[in-house]
Amino acid sequence: MSVKTPEDGTIRAMVAPDPTHPRIGFTERRLANGLRVIVAPDHLVPVVAINLWYDVGSKHEAPGRTGFAHLFEHFMFQGSAHVAKAEHMSIVQGSGGVCNATTWFDRTNYFETLPSNQLELGLWLEADRLATLLDALSQENLDNQREVVKNEKRQSYDNQPYGSFYEKLMAAVYPPGHPYHHTPIGSMADLDAASLADVTAFFRTYYAPDNAVLTIVGDVEEETAFAAVERWFGPIPASGASRRFVAPVTPAQIGTRLRETVPDAVPLVRIHFGWRTVPFGTSAFDALEVATQILAGGQGSRLYRHLVRERQIAQDVSLFSMPLVAGAALLAGWVTVRPEADPADVEAAFLAEMEQVTREPVTADELLRAHALIESSELSALGRVEEVADRLGMYATLFDRPELINEQLGRYLAVGADDVLAASAATFREDNLAVITYVPREGESAQADAA
């Protein structure tokens, strides 16, 4: 198995595994058609998680065709040669399972969790839509799903206070033309322009066994699972389509401080921040995750303690990374300003904390607490079959290294104060920041009327 060099060229720290941490035992094989298959038995509960990562996300979309990867995800539930329109979900649920799919910048994943005696059914459903989706594609389906997606956008973004921050932040942190400049929901105008021919071409390019990782985790025997995969997916031909994605060369920093003010139907001012970072998968990104934990990871974190608890100028604070791999990723945060506080003062106080970690090392106690919380959070995630399946698919797809599932926690625990300092100093800079401030629209005052 090949090991990719991380994008920033750094050498990964090799961390000795903690013997008290349970290891996820898994086996990996590749079918003749290129499908990568990973199986990890876990017999605690009689369920099985099936998870397919297709190496296609919104970053692969062409200009004028944004939102396609996500629209396409909807078609995958609209039927195939042997499954009727909208029947996929009802077969899964009617067999005692749950399923869904999500579209992200770097990939699209499809997953179901079923009673373990229904493994074959889940594989059949996934194989049928991979092999025969185009049989069921129609103009009527296209029109209907366009409407569903528009409603999804209205509900999830347009009709939510602060709901446009995600689109605005990505557009600010990445330049026009960059694959991360637009979000997976895309442009509704682009969706309106989508034709059946576009959708067909998209499917033929990206939906192929040689562009996917299939992971099975749960109450299964390894050989039974591999045999079942071979039975259902083995006969599907590889596509051999060319789909080379080249991450654009992206400067390490935005290059300036961007600022935008957005009047919205909001009661409290909220200031959003975005920084461009090194990509997910690098040791510097791990260090930023630890910095994030120390800055805003809980009630003991610096931002919470100083802005929310002590100065009482913030209603809430948040900081989170977006684990992207194409040349650069993103760290985002926000602070909601208490009504009596001055937004400029709150912004300055937030940024002062961000600057502080670039100047002085975090304390040994802060590091210890961050490590302990990250450890518990990782152990919790690795105790759920769905999460294990998704992570194995992620590590295999993005890094060609599913074994990262047993290494990532150790990598976080190996982050030292000097690593946090260096990664912070490279990220939290004057010339690498987008600030988007939501302010109550003129005449907007929110009172909670009970009808």
Partner 1 sequence: MSGPAILAHRPSAGPARPYHFPGFRRTRLDNGLTVIAADVPSRPLMAAALLLPGGAGHEPARLAGVSLLAARALSEGTRRRDAVAFIEASERLGASLGASCDWEMLSLSVTVPRGRLEPALELLGEMLREPAFPAQEVDRLREQRLNELLQAAAQPGRRAERAFLARIYDAASPFARPLGGDEETVPRLDRAELVARHEAHLDPAQATLILAGDMEGLDPVAIAEARFGAWRAAAAVPGAALAPVPAEPATGARGTVVVDRPASPQSEVRIGHVGLRRRIPDYHATIVLTTMLGGLFNSRLQRLLREEKGYTYHVGASFDFRRSPGPFAVRTAVQSEVTAPAVAEALGVLRRLRSDPPTPAELSDAREFLIGVFPLRFESPEQVAGAIAGLVAQDLPDDELDRYRPSVAAVTASDVVAAAGHVHPDEAAVVLVGDAERVVPDLETAGLGPVQVVPAA
Interactions with partner 1, residue window 95-114 (CB under 8 A): 95-98, 113-114
- In the complex, minimum distance from the CB of residue 362 to partner 1, in angstroms, rounded to a whole number: 13
For position 266 contacting partner 1 by CB under 8 A, the verdict is: yes
Residue 227, class by beta-carbon neighbours within 10 Å (0-12 exposed, 13-18 middle, 19+ buried)? Answer: exposed
For position 154 contacting partner 1 by CB under 8 A, the verdict is: yes
Tell me which H or E stretch contains 264: strand 256-264
CA distance to 80, 128, 366, 395, per residue, from 412 (Å): 43, 40, 14, 16
**C-beta of 9 vs 339, nearer to partner 1:** 339
For position 200 contacting partner 1 by CB under 8 A, the verdict is: no
Interactions with partner 1, residue window 388-447 (CB under 8 A): 445-447
For position 44 contacting partner 1 by CB under 8 A, the verdict is: yes
**C-beta of 348 vs 372, nearer to partner 1:** 372
**C-beta of 234 vs 361, nearer to partner 1:** 234
Contact pick of 216, 225, 268, 413 for partner 1 (by CB under 8 A)? 268
Residue 399, class by beta-carbon neighbours within 10 Å (0-12 exposed, 13-18 middle, 19+ buried)? Answer: middle
Q: How far apart are CA 206 and CA 6, in angstroms?
A: 24
- The stretch among 56-64, 164-172, 308-316, 394-402 that binds partner 1 (CB under 8 A) is 308-316
**C-beta of 12 vs 82, nearer to partner 1:** 82
Contact 412, 13 (CB under 8 A): no
Give the other-Cβ count within 10 Å of 88's Cβ.
Answer: 23
Any idea which residue has 């997953």 for tokens? 111
For position 1 contacting partner 1 by CB under 8 A, the verdict is: no
DSSP state of 403: G
Record the tokens describing residue 401, joined without a space.
Answer: 């290294």
Residue type, 430: E
Q: How far apart are CA 412 and CA 405, in angstroms?
A: 12
Contact 327, 279 (CB under 8 A): yes
Q: Binding mask 333-372 vs partner 1 (x if CB under 8 A, - otherwise)?
A: ---x-xx-------------------------x--xx--x
Contact pick of 261, 383, 425, 430 for partner 1 (by CB under 8 A)? 383
Q: How far apart are CA 300 and CA 404, in angstroms?
A: 29
**Count of residues that interact with partner 1, criterion CB under 8 A:** 90
**C-beta of 163 vs 274, nearer to partner 1:** 163
**C-beta of 80 vs 211, nearer to partner 1:** 80
For position 144 contacting partner 1 by CB under 8 A, the verdict is: yes
- In the complex, minimum distance from the CB of residue 59 to partner 1, in angstroms, rounded to a whole number: 24
Interactions with partner 1, residue window 71-90 (CB under 8 A): 80-82, 85-87, 89-90
- In the complex, minimum distance from the CB of residue 105 to partner 1, in angstroms, rounded to a whole number: 21
For position 267 contacting partner 1 by CB under 8 A, the verdict is: yes
Contact pick of 151, 195, 200, 363 for partner 1 (by CB under 8 A)? 151
Cα–Cα–Cα angle for 106, 109, 204, nearest 5°? 80
Interactions with partner 1, residue window 237-256 (CB under 8 A): none
For position 298 contacting partner 1 by CB under 8 A, the verdict is: yes
For position 12 contacting partner 1 by CB under 8 A, the verdict is: no
For position 305 contacting partner 1 by CB under 8 A, the verdict is: yes
Q: How far apart are CA 374 and CA 368, in angstroms?
A: 10
For position 33 contacting partner 1 by CB under 8 A, the verdict is: no
- Among candidates 135, 149, 235, 215, which has minimal Cα distance to 188? 149
Record the tokens describing residue 152, joined without a space.
Answer: 């999804």
Contact pick of 19, 94, 176, 240 for partner 1 (by CB under 8 A)? 94
Cα–Cα–Cα angle for 294, 300, 303, nearest 5°? 60
Contact pick of 128, 210, 286, 353 for partner 1 (by CB under 8 A)? 128
- The stretch among 64-72, 190-198, 238-246, 382-390 that binds partner 1 (CB under 8 A) is 382-390
**C-beta of 115 vs 248, nearer to partner 1:** 115
Contact pick of 50, 71, 131, 331 for partner 1 (by CB under 8 A)? 131
For position 196 contacting partner 1 by CB under 8 A, the verdict is: no
- Among candidates 401, 434, 366, which has minimal Cα distance to 28? 401
For position 139 contacting partner 1 by CB under 8 A, the verdict is: no
Q: How far apart are CA 56 and CA 68, in angstroms?
A: 10
Contact 238, 416 (CB under 8 A): no
What are the E-state strand segments in 36-183? 36-41, 47-54, 98-103, 108-115
Beta-carbon-side half-sphere exposure of residue 115 (alpha carbons within 13 Å): 7
